[in-house]
Amino acid sequence: MTLKPEIKTSLPGPKAQELLKKDEEFISPSYTRSYPAVIERGEGVWVYDVDGNRFLDMAAGIAVLTTGHCHPEIVKAVQEQAAKLIHMSGTDFYYPYQIELAEKLAEIAPGAKNKRVFFANSGTEANEAALKLARFKTRRPYFIAFLGAFHGRTFGSMSISASKAIHRRYFAPLVPQIFHIPYPNPYRPFLGVAPEKLTDAIIDYLENYIFTTIAPPEEVAAFVFEPIQGEGGYIVPPADFFPKLKQIAEKYDILLIDDEVQTGMGRTGRMFAIEYFGIIPDIVTVAKGIASGFPLGAAIARKSLMDWESGTHASTFGGNPVSCVAALKTIELLEKGLVENAREVGTYLKAELTKLMDEFEFIGDVRGLGLMVGVEIVKDRTSKKPDPSLRNKIVDNAFYKGLILLGAGPNTVRWCPALTVTKEEINVALEIFREVLKNL
């Protein structure tokens, strides 16, 4: 029998209220909590707050909990490793788990196995490593990234990001020599061009304007991109975009840095989202879902590219033994069926959400791949004017009904549950979601 959410108290409950008071006193207010979910424990796609209320989690810790909350095989592997070795620092010493994981990532990342891996603690650190490697190897100063992108919050990765002004406000000067071009959004195409001409319009803008005015191609180290924009609103580009970008990159010897921090590790129904587009990037970065909730990031590149000398870049905690073991077990579970489940259940989820467009005019678009699905909320479908306040109300109201959702971009509801989720659990979530929409 499939569980359902169970709300026993008013929200937030009494215990949660006490903790929220302490949080306000002691925790940085820079975090972006949207509703008072004070979570104490979790199992699978279910979480329980400190007052015993049960919620159905369709956010998975921001697309991190690939195998769900506290998967028993992950827990067992981590407990065993914690009893053997918690830390030694792979930047100065060797240990088998880090080497084994690097070999596995070299095997599963797009392209041949002749790759090396740099381990970090997070997605932003993995992207910092990729930026440094690209500059080190090419000796070129410029990067070209995309409007709507999010690559992290440290200075380098924030400089290539362009999703929200608040991320950048009062932090200038950022890293220089970075330029942004439009990302191909079929629902909101660049300068209103027809969606079928969107790729060519952006490529033309890149080659005949950007390259000829502010970023000479012979000085561009890399293009940096998300194969599906995450914080930008779960934007899926046209199928021909990355193949044509690859052609430009090859023409000018520009590297391709593929940020798979949110899209990787099976989330889209392929191990890496770039596989849908048929190209092989030069550097792939991963984090979030790689270790089922344990902090880990990685930059993966072919050996001829990742050949920088000893001492060039390092990380004290990157590739921690416990995180590496969690990642190895996560990949094992992915290969045993979770990637396929993400594809099958994600297809079902997207189809069912699309049906809701017949009922609710404020759903402007439903898009995504696998278990990475976005529902864009608009004032009306004719104007396509974003409605962030209504999106926020939907997300908040869902919480009070026992459904955990998050926003993405200014006005999109994101669905990114654990890859263990079943159709039955999706149906429970959809029932609540529809009820929320009906009662707005």
pLDDT at 60: 98
For residue 34, pLDDT beyond 90:
no
Helix (H) or strand (E) holding 48: strand 46-49
* pLDDT tens per residue, range 114-124: 999 999 999 99
Pairing of β 403-404 and β 220-225: unpaired
Half-sphere exposure of 390 (CA within 13 A, CB side): 19
pLDDT at 170: 93
Cα–Cα dist 399/413, whole Å: 13
Reduce the DSSP state of residue 202 to 3 states and report it: helix
What's the alpha-carbon Rg for the chain, to the nearest Å?
Answer: 22
* pLDDT tens per residue, range 99-108: 999 999 999 9
Instruction: Find out whether 121 and 317 touch, Cβ atoms under 8 Å.
Output: yes
Name the average pLDDT for the chain: 97
For residue 1, pLDDT beyond 80:
no
For residue 8, pLDDT beyond 80:
yes
For residue 13, pLDDT beyond 90:
yes
pLDDT at 18: 98
Amino acid at the residue 434? R
Reduce the DSSP state of residue 56 to 3 states and report it: strand
Domains of the chain, CATH where assigned:
14-71+337-438 (3.90.1150.10), 74-333 (3.40.640.10)
Cα–Cα dist 322/11, whole Å: 35
Read off the pLDDT band of 149 (50, 70, 90): very high
* pLDDT tens per residue, range 345-365: 999 999 999 999 999 999 999
Instruction: Find out whether 289 and 271 touch, Cβ atoms under 8 Å.
Output: no
* pLDDT tens per residue, range 253-298: 999 999 999 999 999 999 999 999 999 999 999 999 999 999 999 9
Amino acid at the residue 15? K
* pLDDT tens per residue, range 14-31: 999 999 999 999 999 999
The answer for residues whose C-beta is within 8 angstroms of residue 417's C-beta and 6 or more apart is 45, 57, 58, 59, 60, 371, 425, 426, 429
